[in-house]
Amino acid sequence: HWVSMPPSRVETIDPRKLHISGEFVEDNLGTTLGEDGKVMVRLIAQQYSFEPQCLVVPAGMPVTFRATSTDAVHGFVIDKTNANVMLIPGFIATFTARFDKAGERLMPCHEYCGTGHEAMWGRVQVLPAEEFLAKAKGGERMSCVPR
Ligand code: CUA
């Protein structure tokens, strides 16, 4: 399977333990603004949703994503960006994207992952940078999933 994986910077993780410990536990998912000013989004894909289902990111700033899958091979693209990634159980995918304009983007799963694949869509809410920074100041994880 190395054919489909980049040979360098491969990070692995045990997909059976994602919810129990480590960086992908539930309360570590979503968007954070680090003390270094870097924006980081962590998410999980599973049949047939993303967690969180709605991501909050700032416009005009680099945003680093870290993501993985708990079950099948998933992936996503984000409308009007170059974000395009495969999520493979056991591997952490990471990439950096930039969102030019504020607004809503769609984030469909783009790998066939089973009978619910067609309904597996997330959303991305791109906020103006000032608005994002004001909301992120508290340091807690952000998402736009209604509570
Ligand atoms: Cu997940 Cu298709």
Tens of pLDDT, residues 110-129: 999 999 999 999 999 999 99
111 Cβ closer than 6 Å to some ligand 1 atom: yes
120 Cβ closer than 6 Å to some ligand 1 atom: yes
Who contacts 138 (Cβ-Cβ below 8 Å, separation ≥6)? none
67 Cβ closer than 6 Å to some ligand 1 atom: no
62: cis peptide before it, omega within 30°?
no
Distance 23 CA to ligand 1 centre (A): 22
How remote is the C-alpha of 57 from its chain's centroid?
10
Distance 127 CA to ligand 1 centre (A): 26
Instruction: Please determine, for residue 97, whether its predicted confidence score (pLDDT) is greater than 70.
Output: yes
Distance 89 CA to ligand 1 centre (A): 12
44 Cβ closer than 6 Å to some ligand 1 atom: no
Distance 118 CA to ligand 1 centre (A): 7
Mean pLDDT, range 33-47, rounded to an integer: 95
- The predicted pLDDT at position 4 comes to 56
Distance 52 CA to ligand 1 centre (A): 15
Cα gap 43→145, rounded to integer Å: 13
Cα gap 79→125, rounded to integer Å: 11
pTM for the model:
0.91
Give the position, in ligand 1's atom list, of the atom nearest the Cα of 75. Answer: 1
